[in-house]
Amino acid sequence: MSELFEPLLRSYDERRRSELVAAYMAVEHAAEPVPEARFAALREPASRRTVEAMLNLSGRTLIRAGRTEWTSGYRDDVADELARDPACVPPAGDRAVLTLVLIHSVAIPRATGRLPDDTWLSPHPTPLEELRRRSQLPIGELEAALRRLRLAGLVAQVRADGRTDGGDAGGFVPGPQFHRLTPATRRRLQEELILAAGPDSPLAATIRARRRSRDRVLQATRAQAAQGGAATQDGAATQRGAAAQGTAAAQRGAVGQRGAAAQGGAAGQGGGAAETGRVPGRAARAAGDVDARGDMS
């Protein structure tokens, strides 16, 4: 780990390095958000930017959870990529059970004004009997899905007295992993809950219209980018073609120059032999013919 962070921590002294690493480990591995009062590197904006840079090395980001508490989560682009990986997507039954918990513990209380808009902590547990009644899963599959969701930190089981350490269950609420959602992901999840709980409501229609508009803008942007890329490729191909033509012309010129030089050399050799009388007259006349042809060419 020290080698991974060395470029970011090189300019700090040993004490400051320890504070930054301690804050990084806390936001990454603590089950709940950590208060900045306990970690010096979370209290100062400059130090938080360094912690953020450390998290970015592994596709993570720093997330504020409350006014003075912090945790970490995947960046939006990384989360979108992971969501497209089937290995990272929970089974359909688990997703259905989690949706029921979110609807009854968050969406309905929020719609009735009993829960703030931007929170996933809920004092309104969904009773197991309600899940049994609303779910189409057999009881065995439902309980297995709840165990997997609890293990993943996606739901928490609370007792009748509000505690989460087992015992007689009062029901299920969203788990600590929901602290790790970025603001953009929280907004998107809230929209999904509205679409699931009231698909025919005016608000759901507004969400669908806004998404269609956003998709059209995104498609137009991608089309423009593709056209720009094609134009760049065409320009590069034209430049390569012109360069190839220039190279071919230069090569043809070089061949012509070598041919003229060869003809001139043959003429010089013929003339020299005629002057010295070292070749018969016919050879001299042949040499002269070569000279004449060389001049004509």
Tokens of 113: 């004004």
Euclidean distance between CA atoms 203 and 7, whole angstroms? 48
How would you write the pLDDT of the chain (297 residues) with one tens digit per residue?
A: 568 899 999 999 999 999 999 999 999 999 999 999 999 999 999 999 999 999 999 999 999 998 899 999 999 999 999 999 999 999 999 999 999 999 999 988 888 888 887 788 889 999 999 999 999 899 999 999 999 999 999 999 997 655 655 555 579 999 999 999 999 999 998 898 888 878 898 989 999 999 999 899 989 998 998 888 766 666 665 666 655 565 555 555 544 444 444 444 433 444 443 333 333 344 333 333 333 333 433
Q: What is d(CA 24, CA 52) in angstroms, rounded to the nearest whole number?
A: 9
Find out whether 288 and 270 touch, Cβ atoms under 8 Å. Answer: yes
Cα 52–Cα 58–Cα 62 angle in degrees, nearest 5? 25
- Give the largest CA-CA distance in the chain: 129
Is CATH 1.10.10.10 correct for 90-198? Answer: yes
Which residues does 90 contact at the CB level (< 8 Å), separation at least 6?
98, 148, 149, 152, 154
Q: Where are the domains of the chain?
A: 2-80, 90-198, 263-297
Backbone φ, ψ for residue 175 (5° rounding): -85, 180
CB 108 within 8 A of CB 197: yes
The model's pTM: 0.67
Overall size of the chain counted in residues: 297
Domains 2-80 and 90-198 share a fold: yes
What fold characterizes domain 2-80?
Arc Repressor Mutant, subunit A (1.10.10)
Of 108, 105, 128, whose CA–CA distance to 175 is shortest?
105
